[in-house]
Structure 1
Amino acid sequence: MIQSKNISYSYSKKKSLFKDLTFQQNEGSIVGLLGKNGAGKSTLLNLISGLLRPKKGDIEVNGYVPFKRNPNFLSDIYLVTDELFLPSLTINAYMQAFVPLYKNFDIEKMRAIMLEFELDEKDKLNKLSHGQQKKFIIAFALATNCKILLLDEPTNGLDIPSKRVFRKILVSSIEENQLVIISTHQVKDIETIIDRIVVLEQGHIVFEKDITQITEKIQFKKVSSILSFSNVLYHEKCPEGYNVMLPVENDEETGIDIELLFNAITNKTEIIF
């Protein structure tokens, strides 16, 4: 679905954000795109969606060159940005204007998600809070049934109950022929729903693994002391003792702590798969 090879991009001539980056993803996954501020997460989503054109290299999405903005390409990809600019229309008027642009839009799904998010078709978009606007645009994105959904910081502005609803709706709404890429700093909000982790650092992919690959090799535990362990891969102090990463022994798998894993990766911890 996404095939990019040796792409380079910079906002100025002095420094390249990406240089010879190769990024490939296929359908049937919810991918967590992680990285520090300035790592290039939003830029990569903009390149995939065709809002930016790489300076060098090739990128193909669903068989199209994104920056050419072919109408068939645009009808099957949706980008939710962190900064929303919604018109002074009611939700109903917005839907009448924009639903025809998406060939697989499901009105009933949209209404069901709006019900979950406690939105009304009579609501005027520019009068909604930022959190309510975010819920609306997430609902619209999911209802498009686009093959590729790009979500940039989707849980920013959502309260705790809305984040829970977001996770439930996302998992129940996505089909096997879709690809979802979620770029976020709020890793705790997505760790139960993603299938794959990609970490960007200084314009390079420094880690890319399926969740199943990770949990088959690494245990994530909370322990009172690390002195009795000789094989700790990475640890951090916490109020109850330590959060630790350990090699899997005796096929004992645990849940994943994405924040701990991300910190281990960015601290150059050696993890062998």
Structure 2
Amino acid sequence: MISIQNLSFSYRKNKPLFEHLNLQLEAGHIYGLLGKNGAGKSSLLKHMAGLLFPQGGSCKVQGFDTFRRQPAFLQNIFMVPEEFYLPPVHIKNYLSTYAPFYPNFDRKAFGSYMEEFHIPQDQRLTEMSYGQKKKVLISFALATNTKTLIMDEPTNGLDIPSKSQFRKVIAAAVSDEKCIVISTHQVRDLDNLIDSIVIIDNHRIIFRQNVEAVTEKLCFKTVSSIDDAGNVIFSDSSLRGHTVITENGGLEHSRIDMELLFNAVLEKSERITQIFN
């Protein structure tokens, strides 16, 4: 579905953002793209959407070179950017203008998503708050029924109930033919949603595993004393005690803590790599 090979890119000379970056993403999954500020998450998504062009290597989506921006490619991919603009028009006018670009657009599904988000369809976009506009754009994105859906910080601007609604509609939208990639700093918003984790750091992909593989090899738990936790790989202390990651030698079942895993991968990269290799 998405094939990136030896991708190199920089905004400034002698300061590469990507160096020979490789990544393969398949249909039927919701990928969480994680990384520190400035790691290149948004730039990588823009390469997938054909908004940035590789300076070396290739980026292909559904077999298309994304930089060519061919109509057959553009009608089957949609990106929800972190910063967006919606024109000052009525929602129905927005649909009549933009929906025809997507042959599989489903107006009935759009209405259902809007109902789920509690957004009335009989108003102008300028009458809405930022969070409401974001929900309109997410509803539109899902209704396009594109095979590739890319979202950059989609939960920014959403209140707590809306984040729950977001997880619900995204989970319902996944199919064996669709690849969804979500980049976020708010990793706890995705804990129960994504099934594969991609972490980018130091110009390259340093971690790429599905959630099932992670929970098979690692155990996440909270203990009162680190000494009682066993072979601790990484820990974080709070008022509740110590949240730790240990090797899962006994095939113990645990719920993944995405934020803890992210920090562990960054700080204990070599040991994590050894475990998964």
TM-score higher than 0.5 here? yes
Letter of the 1:71 counterpart? P
**Matched-pair contact (CA < 8 Å) for 1:224–1:241:** yes
**Matched-pair contact (CA < 8 Å) for 1:91–1:120:** no
SS in 1 for 2:64: coil
- For structure 1, which segment, 117-126 or 32-41, has the greater mean C-alpha deviation from structure 2 after superposition? 117-126
SS in 2 for 1:227: helix
Aligned to 2:253: 253
Moved over 6 A (4+): none
| Pairing 1:84–2:117 present | no
Aligned to 1:177: 177
Distance (Å, rounded) in 2 between the aligned partners of 1:125 and 1:27: 33
Aligned to 2:234: 234
Distance (Å, rounded) in 1 between the aligned partners of 2:225 and 2:116: 43
| Pairing 1:35–2:5 present | no
Distance (Å, rounded) in 2 between the aligned partners of 1:250 and 1:24: 31
Letter of the 1:113 counterpart? Y
Distance (Å, rounded) in 2 between the aligned partners of 1:22 and 1:250: 33
Aligned to 1:66: 66
Letter of the 1:154 counterpart? P
TM value normalised by structure 2: 0.96
Letter of the 1:105 counterpart? F
SS in 1 for 2:227: coil
Q: Give the % identical residues.
A: 45
| Pairing 1:21–2:15 present | no
**Matched-pair contact (CA < 8 Å) for 1:7–1:21:** yes
SS in 2 for 1:230: coil
Aligned to 1:99: 99
SS in 2 for 1:151: strand
Aligned to 1:209: 209
Provide the alpha-carbon RMSD of the alignment: 1.0
Distance (Å, rounded) in 2 between the aligned partners of 1:221 and 1:154: 28
Distance (Å, rounded) in 2 between the aligned partners of 1:228 and 1:220: 14
- What does the per-residue CA deviation read over 1:158-202, in whole Å, with 9 as the maximum and x for residues that have no partner? 000000000011101222110000000000000101010000002
Distance (Å, rounded) in 1 between the aligned partners of 2:8 and 2:110: 37
Letter of the 1:230 counterpart? G
Matched pairs, number:
273
Letter of the 1:4 counterpart? I
| Pairing 1:159–2:159 present | yes
SS in 2 for 1:84: coil
**Matched-pair contact (CA < 8 Å) for 2:29–2:174:** no
Distance (Å, rounded) in 2 between the aligned partners of 1:266 and 1:86: 37
Aligned to 2:108: 108
Aligned to 1:117: 117
**Matched-pair contact (CA < 8 Å) for 1:91–1:122:** yes
TM value normalised by structure 1: 0.98
Distance (Å, rounded) in 1 between the aligned partners of 2:59 and 2:84: 26
| Pairing 1:191–2:183 present | no
Alignment of 1:132-171 (within 5 A): 132-171=132-171
Distance (Å, rounded) in 1 between the aligned partners of 2:228 and 2:30: 37
**Matched-pair contact (CA < 8 Å) for 2:223–2:229:** no
